[in-house]
């Protein structure tokens, strides 16, 4: 009983600290805040199934690597074509097991008749919780062969090709714009010729889950003591950059 009371007391302290930190964390979104979830580092793994219990949180190892899968396809690879959902949803909150956690995100398929999909987000990560700690995130993704030169804007989809660090904080939440790992550029080879040529779709800086040719996207979340990281999605659909270009895109038929 003593151990249980101690664990409950520690958990209560973490929750109170996190609530205070969240209250102090101003909304970094230039527009509407569409969704946010917390990545919570756990000293011990979670045992019960945590499927379909969206609580705006995902549990990961406090020390070690956990996988966080993200998808816009509600049917995964079970059905042909991109079956987009219209909301965010934590499909599996347990990132401490071998299967990893899964987050469903909204999408709108990029096609020859829909060159300006209606879904686009900027994304921010903010380190909260107990001061100290750090996290290295390796972003891994794969496109089908009908996507020519397709890759995320911040680097390469290959394992180890792109990562970002989430440093611990010393009393002040540390915010980082990680939008670049959620945007993709390339060419959709509509005629399957093996080349990007006339009639194909050239896309730039597009919300990666709008690309039907995306086969997988996940984070290798290598945690070293970060107990709480907040991921915030900001709806920027229809907004424009200072140079007049759309926030997502442009996409064109060649």
The domain locations on the chain are 2-253
Which pLDDT value is given to residue 9? Answer: 39
CA distance 208 to 71: 10
CA distance 248 to 240: 8
Contact by Cβ (8 Å): 187, 235: no
Which pLDDT value is given to residue 45? Answer: 67
pTM for the predicted model, two decimal places: 0.85
Which pLDDT value is given to residue 241? Answer: 80
Apex 156 CA angle, 193 and 122, nearest 5: 100
Which pLDDT value is given to residue 30? Answer: 62
Which pLDDT value is given to residue 23? Answer: 37
Residues of the chain with pLDDT under 70: 1-28, 30-32, 45-50, 52-54, 76-79
């Amino acid at each position: 009983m003593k151990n249980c009371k101690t664990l409950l007391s520690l958990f209560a302290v973490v929750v109170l600290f996190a609530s205070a930190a969240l209250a102090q964390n101003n909304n970094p979104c230039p527009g509407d805040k569409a969704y946010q979830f917390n990545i919570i580092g756990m000293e011990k793994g979670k045992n019960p199934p945590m499927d379909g219990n969206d609580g705006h949180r995902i549990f990961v190892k406090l020390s070690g690597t956990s996988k966080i899968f993200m998808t816009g396809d509600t049917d995964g690879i079970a059905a042909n074509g991109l079956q987009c959902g219209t909301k965010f949803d934590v499909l599996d909150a347990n990132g401490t097991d071998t299967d990893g956690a899964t987050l469903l995100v909204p999408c709108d398929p990029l096609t020859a008749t829909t060159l300006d999909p209606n879904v686009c987000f900027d994304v921010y990560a903010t380190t909260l919780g107990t001061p100290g700690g750090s996290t290295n995130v390796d972003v891994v993704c794969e496109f089908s062969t009908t996507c020519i030169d397709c890759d995320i804007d911040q680097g390469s989809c290959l394992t180890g090709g792109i990562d970002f660090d989430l440093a611990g904080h010393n009393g002040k939440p540390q915010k980082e714009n990680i939008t670049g790992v959620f945007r993709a550029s390339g060419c959709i080879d509509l005629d399957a010729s093996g080349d990007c040529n006339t009639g194909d779709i050239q896309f730039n800086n597009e919300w990666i889950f709008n690309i039907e040719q995306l086969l997988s996207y996940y984070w290798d979340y290598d945690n070293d003591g970060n107990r709480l990281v907040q991921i915030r999605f900001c709806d920027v659909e229809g907004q424009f950059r200072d140079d007049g270009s759309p926030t997502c895109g442009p996409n064109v038929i060649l």
